[in-house]
Structure 1
Amino acid sequence: MKIPGSSYYILFLLILSSGNIFLPAPAFSQDGINIEFKDQGSIVRTLTLTELSNMADSIPLKVFEAHEKRERIYHAYPVRQLLDAIFGKSWEQSEEIVFTSTDGYQPSIPVARFLSHDAYFAFASADGTPFTLINILQNDELVKLGPLYLVWDNLQSKSLLNDGASGMPYQVIGIETTIFSIRYPNLSPVGKVSPQVKRGFLHFRKHCLACHTINGEGGGKAPELNYPNSVVEYFKPDYLVRWIENPTSIRYNTTMPALAKETPNRAQVIQEIIAYLKAMSAAKHDPKRIP
């Protein structure tokens, strides 16, 4: 059943056969939160959830919820429809979209992924339950998902299922179209590097950058990994492998997630991430220093 807008969704809830009237908490209690849309650092629009509801049609979407390892249904807006309404078609010419969450999580996702797969901004649970989840990837942490949660129509896509929770930020309050090398000038390996390091850089971007920083660039949820001391300089090699593979085997009660079990060639990916980190240890840059 397609629900063409949040006003219809509210009406639907009001006429439930139980006779009990209630309003979806995520759509109202968080409406005062502004969501900022930028293009390469410049603000394009600042909108509330109510304003967003007037720009796109909401649908009930069933997804495989990678954070809980089960299926769930959310009310959600098609991402491409919203981006078209806010940026026009120009967003398709960008290289990456950076999402900023209230907890400091900040993934950078290639535009190509949005053009080849169907993404949605979830804003409420379809069954009227709280818009939350239990993140089993982070020590069963109870997480509030609003105001926006980026999800994917992943049930029929092996590649999306293999990605696990990668590219699924919740608590989204900022969306920015950008060019990766401009947004993150000190993340790329310098000079001539091996294919292993190049692959490790891509893996790091996909799996690690949302939480961690290199030379001060990246997410703000977890520690810096390169400056002033690289993680490869104070972690024993076998411990670093274990830390990526199974963080709780090193530190009790940590909320750092392991590299997704579904990751193809997982052991090789870990070694390539470490190769990138080793290469970057020779390319340190003081975050406070102007490039």
Structure 2
Amino acid sequence: MRASLLMLLLLCPAAFAATLTLELPAGTRSLTSEELLANPQVRDIEIPADVSYNRTMRYRALPLAALLDGVKPADHLQAVALDGFAAELPAAPLLATEGSRAWLAIEESGKPWPKLGDGKPSAGPFYLVWSDPKAAGIGPEQWPFQVASIRYLKPLAERFPALLPAGNAPRQVQDGFAQFQKNCLACHRLNGAGDSQFGPDLNIPHNPTEYFTAGYLKQYIRDPQSLRHWPEARMKGFAADVISDGELDQIVAYLKHMAGRKVKAGG
């Protein structure tokens, strides 16, 4: 019976609606793709230079703000993907109605999106996309795909104090922590702290500043395949229009600082 059901799922995926879970201040609820598509605010949108597909894409999408009941601009949200990717998202840009605007793209059962690559699924069933992302400096880590849930969280510093630099750390380190949250924490933990199950910890057992010289670490962040080439690598590089050279220096400064603030296993 189980094998027959699995075969039916593989052959007829359109018969089974995807579900998005929302854990927000107003309460927890789950919405199917059909329910989301029935929302009167759904519209057709065009996204030039889509981050995941690297070309213009068209979607049926809902302004994400329409789903964020009870969320305030100062709040913090997290979008968790099916593969464990956990995007840290400040609420303010998600609630914006002008400039950069967040949309929940919804994959329709009869109109599947393209695959992300050979042997890979599409970006569906739910994908957070942005119109005019440069207006608010939206980076690629703020485009989570295969989203399964969106949840309200306490401030990051309260949830994971092991991520915090020392209170007297230089401004460059403090700014590097902000850049780390925006660009790195979606995939990586540090000191065992963080929600992502996607990439390795960046401080335990060793910090990358301990085995990369600063120049090579920056090169690795810019273009991982230029130093370690393997077909199954999942980390994409960060171009200068996403992380500037100054911001890259800040991230390296934060990582170097945190190499001296390791948390012992189980501590």
TM-score category of the 2 structures, normalised to the smaller one:
0.7 to 0.9
Shift of 1:123: 1.0
Q: CA 1:184/1:50 → structure 2, altered by over 3 Å: closer, same or farther? A: farther
The alignment partner of 2:89 has SS state of strand
Q: Which runs of 4+ in 1 moved over 6 A?
A: none
| Structure 2: gaps (5+ residues) | 1-11
> Residue 183 of structure 2 corresponds to which residue in structure 1?
207
Shift of 1:35: 2.5
Report whether the alignment pairs 1:226 with 2:203.
yes
**Contact 2:74/2:92 (8 A) holds in 1:** no
> Residue 152 of structure 1 corresponds to which residue in structure 2?
130
The alignment partner of 1:46 has SS state of strand
2:61 to 59, 76, 92: 76
The alignment partner of 2:161 has SS state of coil
Shift of 1:275: 0.3
Partner Cα separation in structure 2 for residue 243 and residue 213 of structure 1: 18
Report whether the alignment pairs 1:36 with 2:21.
yes
> Residue 273 of structure 1 corresponds to which residue in structure 2?
251
> Residue 105 of structure 2 corresponds to which residue in structure 1?
122
1:262 to 241, 248, 257: 241
| Structure 1 segment 140-179 matched on structure 2, within 5 A | 142-154=120-132, 158-160=134-136, 163-178=138-153, 179=155
The Cα offsets for residues 89-133 of structure 1, whole Å up to 9 and x where unpaired, read as x2115521101001111111111112334211101279x753235
**Contact 1:131/1:145 (8 A) holds in 2:** yes
Shift of 1:46: 2.9
Partner Cα separation in structure 2 for residue 274 and residue 99 of structure 1: 26
Shift of 1:77: 1.2
| More deviation, 227-236/242-251 | 227-236
The alignment partner of 2:148 has SS state of strand
Partner Cα separation in structure 1 for residue 242 and residue 119 of structure 2: 22
Q: CA 1:196/1:94 → structure 2, altered by over 3 Å: closer, same or farther? A: closer
> Residue 8 of structure 2 corresponds to which residue in structure 1?
none
1:131 to 98, 106, 113: 113
Partner Cα separation in structure 2 for residue 143 and residue 261 of structure 1: 29
Q: CA 1:197/1:56 → structure 2, altered by over 3 Å: closer, same or farther? A: farther
Shift of 1:186: 1.9
**Contact 2:222/2:238 (8 A) holds in 1:** yes
> Residue 283 of structure 1 corresponds to which residue in structure 2?
261
> Residue 91 of structure 1 corresponds to which residue in structure 2?
71
**Contact 1:163/1:260 (8 A) holds in 2:** no
| Structure 1: gaps (5+ residues) | 1-24, 85-89
Shift of 1:246: 1.1
Partner Cα separation in structure 2 for residue 54 and residue 129 of structure 1: 16
The residue identity in structure 2 corresponding to 1:227 is I
**Contact 2:33/2:107 (8 A) holds in 1:** no
Partner Cα separation in structure 2 for residue 54 and residue 215 of structure 1: 43
TM-score normalised by structure 1 residue count? 0.75
> Residue 227 of structure 2 corresponds to which residue in structure 1?
250
2:81 to 81, 101, 114: 101
Partner Cα separation in structure 2 for residue 249 and residue 222 of structure 1: 19
Partner Cα separation in structure 2 for residue 204 and residue 30 of structure 1: 37
Shift of 1:51: 3.5
Shift of 1:283: 1.8
The residue identity in structure 2 corresponding to 1:49 is S
